[in-house]
Amino acid sequence: MNVLVLMCDHHRFDALSCLGNPLAHTPNLDRLAARSVRFENCFTQSPVCAPARHSLATGRYAHAQGVITNSHKPHPGMVTIAHALQPLGYRRFQQGHMHWTDESMDNGYEPPVTKAMWRESMRAEALARYDWESQGITRRTTAGPSPRTREQYSGYFVAANAVCQIESAAERGEQFLCWTAFSEPHPPFYPPREIYERFDQAQIDLPKQAPPDAPPPHQVILGKRREWEHLTEVELRQMLAGYYGMVELVDGYIGMVLDAVERLGIADDTIIVWTTDHGDQMWEHGLFLKFQMHEGSVHVPLLIHDPRRGSGVRTELVEHIDLFPTICELVGAECPDTVQGRSLVPLLGVSGTDTSLSVPETPEGPSPEGWRDAVFSQIGTIQMIRTEQWKLNLYEGEPGELYDLENDPEEFYNRVADADYADTVQSLHERLRDWEQSSSG
């Protein structure tokens, strides 16, 4: 089986029109979701680009693989999914925003298609406009229509090169791993004018904020809020329109690659995965971007389409590090003992070609015995443990936020200082410390 991994940046878990989001226009992802197993409760190992991507590549938690911020480098001897598939003779393509922080280290892939190559292919006026949109304040706190065409975004360049490489492999009868990483919908939130102007911004509902009786946010969150506290409601709606315009834009690029797989007649031989490195707050909790542990940042989408299996929805807690062993099992590759994730194959249903697998008959079957009851995430010195009901966030090693997700899914009421929850805080804190120690090796 070929393996095609499609990956976005900043794409929220709920930014899909098939989930009823009125702002999302994602026909290509919707058609992929219709024939995939969709994991409702997937979580990133880090709500920031480089750590999340290195955890996906290695199947290891952020502190275990070494990249806990965008400036950290991986520990020596990094073993990636590309290394694992190399002995089987796979071509190993990498496209776009891979975010390797040590480019001298062997990542197992063939030479990449990079953003620098895209820049070299662009006309000067298009690059000048992109560079203006990408300035710090413009990129982080504004949004609007761009005069650039769909073909003048890096996502188009990434999709076109992915199609070319897949075509080449298909013509030669070569199996491939094609990891295609789009930058969109990462800011700047400046989609082409014709997309941006389709939004009726007067009809955009802003996310609900914490009620007056809620405890004040943690000091770290208060500090982050200051970046956007000057925005008016008009400007906030512009931000949301710009973001969802970028979601629509990248959905079109994903469609280019999906169409190529169909056109080349290799759909029945290609496993397709779609996910994202992390989400975006989109004004929830008075925030945009990521860099903290609210659901908008750490809860991510995950679709896995195996043409040998059915479609469905799973609600178990899963982590990004699970993708590595899942791919290995699906293609018959040996999974290295460095991997800390758990294969999701038992959640995908029985293969039409192998009914001896001890997995549910449909993707909606029962959870495997002993499945995890907690997931973990980290960025720098901020750490999270999340169970079905609880979320505890540590700041510099100290409990700073406790949310009862069962009764407070919007994370408005921080219970960490409430004496009635002291035992819960202590129990989760101990579990976090045990996880850190046991997964550091």
Both 360 and 387 in one domain: the answer is no
Looking at residue 355, its pLDDT comes to 40
Report yes or no on 204 lying in a domain.
yes
Both 267 and 176 in one domain: the answer is yes
The predicted model gives 278-288 an average pLDDT of 98
Looking at residue 365, its pLDDT comes to 73
Higher-pLDDT residue of 326 and 351 is: 326
* Phi, psi for 197 (deg, rounded to 5): -80, -5
Report yes or no on 372 lying in a domain.
no
pLDDT bucket at 271, cuts 50 / 70 / 90: very high
Which tens digits make up the pLDDT trace of 172-211? Answer: 999 999 999 999 999 999 999 999 999 999 999 999 999 9
Both 335 and 439 in one domain: the answer is no
Domain total in the chain: 2
Both 304 and 392 in one domain: the answer is no
> By C-alpha distance, which of 130, 143, 142 is closest to 195?
143
Looking at residue 82, its pLDDT comes to 98
Residue 304, domain extent = 2-364
Both 103 and 74 in one domain: the answer is yes
Length of the chain: 441
Both 328 and 398 in one domain: the answer is no
pLDDT bucket at 306, cuts 50 / 70 / 90: very high
Report yes or no on 349 lying in a domain.
yes
Which tens digits make up the pLDDT trace of 366-419? Answer: 888 899 999 999 999 999 999 999 999 999 999 999 999 999 999 999 999 999
Which among 332, 364, 396 is the end of a domain?
A: 364
Q: How far apart are CA 349 and CA 309, in angstroms?
A: 6
Both 269 and 399 in one domain: the answer is no
Both 331 and 394 in one domain: the answer is no
Within 13 A of 258's CA, how many CA atoms are on the CB side? 20
CATH of the domain at 350: 3.40.720.10
Strand 302-305, strand 270-276: pairing? antiparallel
Q: How far apart are CA 182 and CA 211, in angstroms?
A: 37
Q: Which two tokens stand for residue 185?
A: 């919908």
Report yes or no on 371 lying in a domain.
no
The predicted model gives 301-306 an average pLDDT of 98
CATH of the domain at 413: 3.30.1120.10
Q: Is 10 within 8 Å of 279 (Cβ atoms)?
A: yes
Which among 310, 329, 364 is the end of a domain?
A: 364
Q: How far apart are CA 275 and CA 304, in angstroms?
A: 9
| Averaged pLDDT score across all residues of the chain | 95
Both 326 and 427 in one domain: the answer is no
Contacts of 227 (CB under 8 A, 6+ apart): 140, 141, 288
Both 403 and 287 in one domain: the answer is no
Q: How far apart are CA 250 and CA 300, in angstroms?
A: 16
Q: How far apart are CA 50 and CA 63, in angstroms?
A: 12
3-state SS track over the chain: CEEEEEEECCCCCCCCHHHCCCCCCCHHHHHHHHCCEEEEEEECCCCCHHHHHHHHHHCCCHHHHCCCCCCCCCCCCCCCHHHHHHHHCCEEEEEECCCCCCCCCCCCCCCCECHHHHHHHCCHHHHHHHHHHCCHHHHHHCECCECCCHHHCHHHHHHHHHHHHHHHHHHHCCCEEEEEECCCCCCCECCEHHHHCCCCHHHCCCCCCCCCCCCCCCHHHHHHHCCCCCCCHHHHHHHHHHHHHHHHHHHHHHHHHHHHHHHCCCHHHEEEEEEECCCCCCCHHHCCCCCCCCHHHHEECEEEECCCCCCEEEEEEEEHHHHHHHHHHHHCCCCCCCCCCCCCHHHCCCECCECCCCCCCCCCCCCCCCCCCEEEEEECCEEEEEECCEEEEEECCEEEEEEECCCCCCCCCCCCCCHHHHHHHHHHHHHHHHHHHHCCC
Looking at residue 43, its pLDDT comes to 98
Q: Is 175 within 8 Å of 88 (Cβ atoms)?
A: yes
Looking at residue 136, its pLDDT comes to 92
Q: Which two tokens stand for residue 108?
A: 């197992």
Report yes or no on 376 lying in a domain.
no
Q: How far apart are CA 94 and CA 178, in angstroms?
A: 6
Which tens digits make up the pLDDT trace of 328-378? Answer: 999 999 999 999 999 999 999 867 554 443 344 456 678 888 999 999 999
Both 29 and 124 in one domain: the answer is yes
Q: Which residues pair with 39 in a beta bridge?
A: 314
Contacts of 426 (CB under 8 A, 6+ apart): none
Both 303 and 408 in one domain: the answer is no
Which tens digits make up the pLDDT trace of 217-265? Answer: 999 999 999 999 999 999 999 999 999 999 999 999 999 999 999 999 9
Report yes or no on 26 lying in a domain.
yes
Q: How far apart are CA 182 and CA 180, in angstroms?
A: 6
CA dihedral 141, 252, 301, 82 (to 10 degrees): -110
Report yes or no on 370 lying in a domain.
no
Report yes or no on 100 lying in a domain.
yes
Say yes or no to pLDDT of 8 above 60. yes
